[in-house]
A = this chain, B = another copy of it.
C-alpha cells in the first residue's frame, strides 16, 4: 500500500496521486519510451518519493499502464456489442468504437514489449480474445474469408489499426477519413463484399 495511514482522506489522496501518475506515465512513455520515473514525476507535479511509493520501478508502472489500457479498450469494445447481429456489421461497430483507443496504445505496447517481454501477450490476451471470437463467428457464418489462417486476420486487424493511428499522428491521413478508410480496407481484407 502506498501510504502507511489508512484514513479515508489519505486513501483518497493516494488514489488521486496514482491516477495522476498513470495519466502522466501514459503521455510521457508513449512519446519517449526511454523516459525515467523521475520524468514522469516531473510531468505530474509529484515528488519522486510519492511516485516510488506507488511504483517501485519503471517496469511496474509500464505493467500497470498496459493493464489499464487493455481494460479500458476491452470495456469500450464490449460496449459495441461484437456478438450481436451480422459479423460484418459488428466489425464496423467495433472499429468505430475502439480503433482510436487501440491505435493510441500502440506506442505504449511497443515500449512495454521491450521491458515486459513475455508479460505483454498475456496482458494483451483479453482484447485479442474478444476479436478472435468475432473473427471466428464471421468465418463460421461465412461472412469473413476462410482461405487464410484465423490468426492472420487478427494480425491484419491490429496492423491496420496501428498503421491508421501512426498515419493520423504523422499527418499523412486526415483524422476524419481514417475511420472509414480503416473500415473499408479491413472489410475488404476480411473478404466481405458489400
Contacts and interface: CB of A to CB of B under 8 A. Distances in A.
Given A145-B184, A184-B145, A188-B191, A160 B151 contact: no
Contacts of A156: 160, 163, 185
A44 B190 CA distance: 44
B177 A149 contact: yes
Interface string A41-60: 00000000000000000000
Instruction: Classify the interface of chain A: helix, strand, loop or mixed.
Output: helix
A151 B167 contact: yes
Interface string A142-160: 0001011101110110111
Given A167-B155, A189-B188, A173 B160 contact: no
Interface string A163-194: 11011000011100100110011101111010
Assembly stoichiometry (copies)? 2
Contacts of A163: 155-156, 158-159
Contacts of A158: 163
Interface residues of A, number: 31
A184 B148 contact: yes
A87 to B, nearest CB: 15
A100 interface: no
Contact of A159 (B151, B159, B191): B159
A160 B164 CA distance: 12
Contacts of A145: 184-185, 188
A143 to B, nearest CB: 13
